[in-house]
Amino acid sequence: MNAGPEPIALWRQLQATAAVIAAVRKGASGTAAVEAVAATLRPGVQALAFHVWRNLGRAQALRSALVSRMPAPATDALLCVALALMWDEAAAPYDAFTLVNQAVEALKRHPATAAHANFVNACLRRFLRERAALVAATDSSLEAHWNHPRWWVERLQREHPQHWQAMLTAANRHPPMTLRVNARKAQVGEYLEQLRALGIAARPGDAQVIYLAQAVPVTQLPGFAQGVVSVQDAAAQLAAPLLLEGLGATPRVLDACAAPGGKTAHLLELSGSAVTAIELDARRMQRVAQTLERLGLQAQLQVGDASRPQDWWDGVPFDGILLDAPCTASGIVRRHPDVRWLRRESDIAQLAELQARILEGLWPLLRPGGRMVYCTCSVFLAEGSEQVRHFVGQHADAQWLASPGHLRPGAGEDAKLGDNPTHDHDGFFYALLEKRSN
């Protein structure tokens, strides 16, 4: 009789989680850092890493209260991992004494950290003795209270003075798994019935949106392999219909910066568009191709730099252009909590410059009377309203039409920025621009 695989020791998972945290601190994306973990460890490490990123501000503040000098990077990463996992007893995934024991074991088992095992053991045991006082002492820290970098919190306070607290609270919540029903293959109501028949609780949103009560593997979704449904955040599902409205039945459309292909597919699902998808990264373009293949859709896929259309454009103007511009991804930190610790404030200006360059490069490709949707999954104004306001000010032929604007992450009808209601979706910015005829 097979006993099955032996359970993975917690110290191994903590060791790998600390390596992931350290990699992001050095500039790697959390996705890449987790993918580098051994397959047997990866699911557990991803869950632990997400918990750590959502509590890292508090952990770093506690570490500063416990030590007089910053530990070496590898040791500090493991110390902060342990503190992030254990500081809140109600949310801790393991018993505190187990975490201390296994964190120390993880340090002992690695040559780079073995010499610091006793030091970390002393820090963690002191934390357990003085937990209430140490937590109270760090409550006044913006970074500890909100679990975001101080610069991030202060920027939101300036830019969204009425909503910054709700935005940060939403960013630390677990996001829903959100689906987009393929309008060519199913209706929302009938798909909800299929889910219910399988015991998968779900509720409808606007248009083709369905929210699942609990995330499930895509292999459990009826018709997923056949392209009946896709996973896509509700805010991201606004892009295609916003662009297509008023363009006619068979517009010629450009999807710039197209990977991973969700918006490309949505454009094709909703119309008879002739879609050209541009993506700079050839590997990411493969994901677009895979997405379209699963859905049984076709587009012209081209690897190229959206800011340099002279390298790939055939000279025929487009009726519509969707520019989902590279950005800080500050609006999707509830799905990618590593982003808040990966980004630096200087990244905002650098990315805003890139966005402006792409806008300038693509605008001449739009026919007079054509429309462009500019969007980012960012909550920072420099990547949203300020970017578009500057562009319109520099282009007399650009008219900013009514469009969603800044959508903050959150849940419920009462979550608003200005007059823009949000449901349960990520933070986005949308601007619809029309090219005036001469």
Residues 190, 298, single domain; the answer is: no
Q: Is residue 211 part of a domain?
A: yes
Residue 320 has φ and ψ, to the nearest 5°, of: -145, 145
Q: Where are the alpha helices (DSSP H) in 147-201?
A: 150-159, 164-171, 188-197
Q: CATH no. for residue 221? A: 3.30.70.1170
Q: Is residue 260 part of a domain?
A: yes
How far apart CA 30 and CA 53 sit, in angstroms, is 10
Beta strands 202-204 and 252-256, pairing class: unpaired
How far apart CA 89 and CA 69 sit, in angstroms, is 27
Instruction: With cut-offs at 50, 70 and 90, classify the pLDDT of residue 438.
Output: low
Last residue of a domain, one of 126, 146, 166: 146
Secondary structure of 73-113 as H, E, C letters: HHHHHHHHHHHHHHCCCCCCCCCHHHHHHHHHHHHHCCCCC
Give pTM, 2 decimals. Answer: 0.92
Residues 125, 185, single domain; the answer is: no
Measure CA of the first residue to CA of the last residue in the chain; give whole Å: 80
- What is the distance, to the nearest Å, from the Cα of residue 288 to the centroid of all Cα atoms in its chain? 18
Looking at residue 5, what is its pLDDT?
A: 59
Last residue of a domain, one of 146, 166, 190: 146
Is pLDDT above 90 for 143?
Answer: yes
Residues 304, 344, single domain; the answer is: yes
**Mean pLDDT computed over 396-425:** 71
CA–CA distance from 403 to each of 243, 388, 419, 420 (Å)? 10, 12, 11, 9
Is pLDDT above 60 for 4?
Answer: no
**Which of 1-15, 62-76, 378-392 has the weakest average pLDDT?**
1-15
CA–CA distance from 212 to each of 29, 185, 201, 233, 382 (Å)? 27, 19, 6, 12, 33
Looking at residue 437, what is its pLDDT?
A: 83
Is pLDDT above 80 for 413?
Answer: no
User: Could you report the per-residue pLDDT of 32-79, keeping only the tens digit for each?
Assistant: 999 999 999 999 999 999 999 999 999 999 999 999 999 999 999 999
User: Could you report the per-residue pLDDT of 299-354, keeping only the tens digit for each?
Assistant: 999 999 999 999 999 999 999 999 999 999 999 999 999 999 999 999 999 999 99
How far apart CA 304 and CA 372 sit, in angstroms, is 19
In the numeric block, the tokens 């040559």 are attached to 111
Looking at residue 415, what is its pLDDT?
A: 40
How far apart CA 203 and CA 212 sit, in angstroms, is 7
In the numeric block, the tokens 């449904």 are attached to 229
Instruction: With cut-offs at 50, 70 and 90, classify the pLDDT of residue 234.
Output: very high
What does the CA dihedral 119, 120, 125, 130 come to, rounded to 10 degrees? 100
**Mean pLDDT computed over 21-38:** 96
Q: Is residue 1 part of a domain?
A: no
Nearest Cα to Cα of residue 427 among 383, 388, 387: 383
Nearest Cα to Cα of residue 409 among 186, 242, 170: 170
**Mean pLDDT computed over 105-122:** 95
How far apart CA 354 and CA 356 sit, in angstroms, is 5
Q: Is residue 4 part of a domain?
A: no
Instruction: With cut-offs at 50, 70 and 90, classify the pLDDT of residue 417.
Output: very low
Query: Tokens at residue 248, please?
Result: 């006619």
Q: Tell me the pLDDT of the chain averaged across its residues.
A: 93
Q: Is residue 151 part of a domain?
A: no
Instruction: With cut-offs at 50, 70 and 90, classify the pLDDT of residue 2.
Output: low
The tally of domains found in the chain comes to 3
Those residues whose C-beta lies under 8 Å from the C-beta of residue 19, and which sit 6 or more positions away, are 33, 37, 74, 77
Residues 194, 285, single domain; the answer is: no
Q: CATH no. for residue 427? A: 3.40.50.150
Q: Which 8-state DSSP code applies to residue 317?
A: P
Residues 136, 202, single domain; the answer is: no
Last residue of a domain, one of 211, 231, 251: 231
Is pLDDT above 90 for 249?
Answer: no
Is pLDDT above 90 for 141?
Answer: yes
Cα-trace Rg, the chain: 24
Residues 81, 198, single domain; the answer is: no
Q: How many helices (H) and strands (E) does the chain have?
A: 18, 13
Is pLDDT above 60 for 113?
Answer: yes
Q: CATH no. for residue 92? A: 1.10.940.10
Could you give the angle at the alpha carbon of 280 between the alpha carbons of 225 and 22, nearest 5°? 85
Q: What does 257-289 look like in DSSP terms, one character per residue?
A: S-TT-HHHHHHHHHS--EEEEEES-HHHHHHHH
Looking at residue 1, what is its pLDDT?
A: 45
Q: Is 80 a catalytic residue?
A: no
Residues 133, 225, single domain; the answer is: no
Residues 49, 196, single domain; the answer is: no
Residues 72, 212, single domain; the answer is: no
Cβ atoms of 65 and 132 closer than 8 Å: no
Query: Tokens at residue 380, please?
Result: 């920072």
User: Could you report the per-residue pLDDT of 150-195, keeping only the tens digit for each?
Assistant: 999 999 999 999 999 999 999 999 999 999 999 999 999 999 999 9
Q: Is residue 402 part of a domain?
A: yes
User: Could you report the per-residue pLDDT of 196-210, keeping only the tens digit for each?
Assistant: 999 999 999 999 999
Cβ atoms of 292 and 265 closer than 8 Å: yes
Residues 334, 287, single domain; the answer is: yes
Domain residues for the domain of 53 are 10-146
Those residues whose C-beta lies under 8 Å from the C-beta of residue 157, and which sit 6 or more positions away, are 164
Query: Tokens at residue 183, please?
Result: 């309008």
Q: Is residue 69 part of a domain?
A: yes
Residues 303, 431, single domain; the answer is: yes
Q: Is residue 307 part of a domain?
A: yes
Could you give the angle at the alpha carbon of 355 between the alpha carbons of 350 and 357, nearest 5°? 95
Residues 270, 395, single domain; the answer is: yes
